[in-house]
Amino acid sequence: MTNDASLLAALAIVSTCVLALVWVIKHLFTSIIPALDGLNKVTELNTKATKMADAYLRERNGRDIEFHTELMASMNAIPEQIKDTAKITAKELAKIQANLPAQNIENQHVDKQVVAST
């Protein structure tokens, strides 16, 4: 009888392990399947967005050359505009300086003078 009892106990242990394994697999699939479905949807949306961006860039190909040419012409004109602005500013400063009263140094005291030798 001990042999039959030990076989029955072993069968109970094995069947409990199998049932536990089945329950774990079922639980994993019930929690993993929704995550995989979400991942599938996100992947499809990403693919759609990539294809739309690719189509947009293909349509735009070559149209930016004119804009780029205008942009480079404007960028090349900046130094000339800066020179013109500097000339205008210099003229305005000369007008302001001409209207300033004369300034004379009446008294000057120097504590220490350092002259750099060249």
Report the distance separating Cα 50 and Cα 38, nearest Å.
18
Report the distance separating Cα 77 and Cα 66, nearest Å.
17
**Angstrom distances, CA of residue 66 to CA of 60, 61, 62, 72, 73:** 12, 11, 8, 10, 11
pLDDT at 1 over 60: no
User: What residues does each domain of the chain span?
Assistant: 6-61, 65-96
Q: Which residue is associated with the tokens 């300034």?
A: 103
pTM (predicted TM-score): 0.37
Tell me the per-residue pLDDT of 86-110, one tens digit each, with 9 for 90 and over: 999 999 988 888 888 877 888 888 8
pLDDT at 25 over 60: yes
Tell me the per-residue pLDDT of 29-88, one tens digit each, with 9 for 90 and over: 888 888 888 888 999 999 999 999 988 888 887 777 778 888 888 888 888 889 999 999
Helix%, strand%, coil% for the chain, nearest 5: 80, 0, 20
Report the distance separating Cα 104 and Cα 96, nearest Å.
18
Provide the residue type at 70 as one letter: E
- State residue 109's pLDDT score: 86
